Amino acid sequence: MKVTRLPDVEPRPRRVAVGTFDGVHLGHREVIRDADTVLTFDPHPTTVVHPAAVPKLITTLERKAELVGSLGAQELVVIPFDRDFAAQSAQSFIDDILVGALHATHVSVGENFRFGHRASGDPAMLAADGRFETRVVQLLEADGEIVSSSHIRGLLLGGALDYANQLLVDPFVMRGEVVHGDKRGRELGYPTANLVPEEAYVLPGHGVYACVANGSHLAAVNVGVRPMFKTGRGELIEAYLLDFAGDLYGSQLELTFHHRLRGERRFESVDALIEQMGRDVEETRRLLAERG
């Protein structure tokens, strides 16, 4: 997957899918189908046009590129979204970007896609332009709800991981640098690799999850604030990698969330917590056994 900033694109005919595509969920995948190029925006447009309502993102740009590439697209073209771009007219977006820079022969968008200054452009405006074919994809519904990034964010925050993963198709992923914690897990017999959540990205609801770390190691992961102990810390992601021995401090850790095991809670005693952690580990092993 080639990732190109808009100013650096090479001239060639393109079949272009356009959108923010946070999460690259089921609905996005229908828009992207048959496109060789995906045009997206970074940062999220809301950061500029409505900063008070910026959503926590599901995917980093790196993760988005991986997902888009897995769908068969050859190139992810990224528009650096700033105030100058936000002020660009809808007609300029078509003339200068879709036609001028990308040489689009086909353009695919969702039915709710808007573009240009004050969101004045819409799919009908694209369809009226005879220089390229326009494909407008209807919003996808599942169980009576529109499949959207905002809906999936709510599911993740509410702990409905399994359903969120169904809509995402590829399981939810978090990445970060392993940092030093309070060594509490080591004292309890379950040493953990700890990640501090990034403020800009959505965090699954507090609880324990069956995950895969770095693509190969099974991991029981706690997301939350550790109510048994007064640490003075905020939210933390603590990953116990099953059957692993080694030093991960300072390295990058990728966690793929497959199942939610339970919510985070306070236990009557440390021994009761340790017993539950043992059950969490065995449940993780059972649920993900087919991965080896």
Active-site residues, by number, are: 238
- Cα 108 from Cα 28, distance rounded (Å): 10
Interhelix angle for 161-168 vs 149-157, to 10°? 160
Name residue 212's beta-bridge partners: 218, 256
Residues 206 and 264: beta-carbon distance below 8 Å:
yes
Strand 104-110 versus strand 14-18 pairing type: parallel
Residues 207 and 159: beta-carbon distance below 8 Å:
yes
**Is it true that the peptide bond before 13 is cis, omega within 30 degrees of 0?**
no
According to DSSP, residue 20 is labeled -
**For residue 122, what are the CA distances in angstroms to 113, 136, 137?**
6, 10, 13
SS3 state of residue 275: helix
